[in-house]
A and B are shown apart, each in its own frame.
Chain A
Amino acid sequence: MNLSAVNPPAIEPSRASAETHAAGTPEKPQTAEPWTQRGGVYWMDCAKVTVRETARAMKDVGARFVTITAYQLPGNEGFRLEYHWDLDGRLLGFPFQLIGNSIESIFDICEAADWIEREVHEGFAIEFTGREYEPLLLREGEKPGVNLREEMAR
């Protein structure tokens, strides 16, 4: 995979902060090709990268993990997870379409992802492989998926 595509290298923290403050809106990361701005987020096409590769690349450039937003897609299309990272005020997004109900955990790379992985697991019954998790929001006797998974929440 091309890590330079994941890594927005040309952003210099001090300059970027000054520019965003002056202009009022974040500037597009200077790796023009893979990034598209939409709905307040700079999105990257993640068809050829894994979630762990993006997490490592974000950690290397000093980005701050923000959250994971999970979506259940219509019919049998499965789920989409959007990973959000902040780089000097720019919100970067990495969408991943799940094959089945599982995706690799990034908890060992980024400890800030711990609670949200547990929450997504409990909300949608999605498995994050390579980690163990204790209950977060669910109480004894409640099954993962009870809160947000369409067929169970109804």
Chain B
Amino acid sequence: MSYKIPMGPYHPGLEEPYKLEMICEGETVQDAKLHIGFNFRGIERLAETRNYIQVIALMERVCGICSNIHTLTLCQAMEQLTGLEPPPRAKYIRVAMAELERLHSHVLWAGIASKLMGFKTMFMTCFALREKVMDVLQAISGNRVNYAMNRIGGVNRDIEDPQALVPMVDELEREMMRTIIPIFTTSATARSRCAGIGILTHEKAVSCGVVGPTARASGVAQDLRRAAPYAAYAEMEFETPVEQAGDVRARLFVRALEIMESCRILRQALSKMPPGEIDAGEAKLVFTSGTATSRVEAPRGEVMYSVSWKENSRNPSRVHVRTPTYANMPAIRWMVRGARLADTPLIQASIDPCYSCTDR
């Protein structure tokens, strides 16, 4: 006999509010429905009431983890409408911030995944390391969460001595190599909890249109930093890790390898940062009528902003945001089918869901 198990919207197994309604036979999940919108904020509507300065601060609040990515994508779209091109140094600073944010996001996720695996010492180790990443972000921006770095045509703050940050990146990388990556890739605990569960096949990943590490763990080799480079990514050398298994372990592997690639990109961005201005220096911005679209590879996958403007207006007439979790979350239904009920908190966490982004 089948029965329904509701998980959420407020549940110890979930970090944020959404609802997974599962139909089970015994301990096995047969099907699931997802419900979102419990914290829907109507930010797209609100954006239409904000001017071009205020809308950046507003969109930085779409997400608490990848706040910098949202302002970067929005500013890139608004730069198309104003015709402003950020100077090379600003593009390098944008890359450095984006990769630090990816490190922060992936390490935070590793901590939460560890907790859900019942591996609490690892959770503490990850969060201690996350503090170090946040220290670097704070050293650059003055802020630990919403960094307020991006502006139309550049960035708000310079990295005065980029080379001074390289030892901090080295230390981060050493710590990753010494503890987090070996434990995640070789420990029996991690393997027993992650291998073979929550499988998203390649075909299903394509059909659901999933993005980011969730797609790359199912053999879909897409990464906007390579396919459609923005900021200074065309000048960076890096690999895009791809796994084929499509299970929780593959998603864990992809993120672990991406941590190493982020350190590699960061070192290049800091070492090769060109001298010069950090913004285009336009005091008065003139927007042309029309729509501009920008996409960026956030830690969880592709973020897209479509921004519309009417000439001589101070406010956008429409801002549409497509966040990565919005693309990834429907795939949870296919991941939990056939899984043990006890594995579902870890499976849903394995896409690194952001409910804040989803309920924007």
Report which A residues bind B (CB closer than 8 A). Answer: 17, 20-26, 38-41, 62, 64-67, 69-71, 82, 84, 86, 88-91, 93, 110-112, 114-116, 123, 134-139, 147-148, 153
Contacts and interface: CB of A to CB of B under 8 A. Distances in A.
Interface of B: 33, 36-37, 40, 42, 44-45, 77, 80-81, 206-209, 222, 224, 226-229, 234, 290-295, 302, 304, 306, 308, 318, 320, 322, 326-327, 329-330, 359
Contact of A66 (B45, B304, B359): B304
Contacts of A91: 228, 293, 295, 304
Given A114-B330, A116-B322, 19 more contacts: A21-B227, A26-B228, A38-B291, A62-B206, A64-B222, A65-B209, A66-B322, A67-B320, A69-B306, A69-B320, A70-B320, A84-B293, A86-B222, A89-B224, A111-B207, A111-B208, A136-B37, A147-B44, A148-B45
Nearest to A134: B33
A39 B42 contact: no
Name which of A17, A26, A69, A123 has the most chain B CB atoms within 10 A of its CB. Answer: A69
22 contacts: A20-B227, A40-B80, A64-B209, A66-B327, A67-B322, A84-B306, A89-B226, A89-B228, A91-B228, A91-B293, A112-B207, A112-B209, A115-B326, A115-B329, A116-B326, A134-B33, A135-B37, A136-B36, A137-B36, A137-B359, A139-B37, A147-B45
Contacts of B229: 20-21, 24
A92 B304 CA distance: 13
Nearest to A119: B326
Contacts of A134: 33
A112 B227 contact: no
A40 B291 CA distance: 9
Contact of A137 (B37, B209, B224, B290): B37
Contacts of A67: 304, 320, 322
A22 B233 CA distance: 10
A153 B37 CA distance: 17
A24 B283 CA distance: 28
Contacts of A71: 308, 318
Nearest to B42: A147
Contacts of A17: 226-227
Given A66-B302, A67-B304, A20 B209 contact: no
A84 B80 contact: no
Contacts of A148: 44-45
A116 B37 CA distance: 13
B293 A89 contact: no
A143 to B, nearest CB: 14
Contacts of B306: 69, 82, 84
Contacts of B293: 39-41, 84, 91, 93
A39 B320 CA distance: 14
Contact of B206 (A20, A41, A64, A89): A64
Contacts of B302: 66, 86
A26 B207 CA distance: 24
Contacts of B226: 17, 21, 89
Nearest to B234: A24
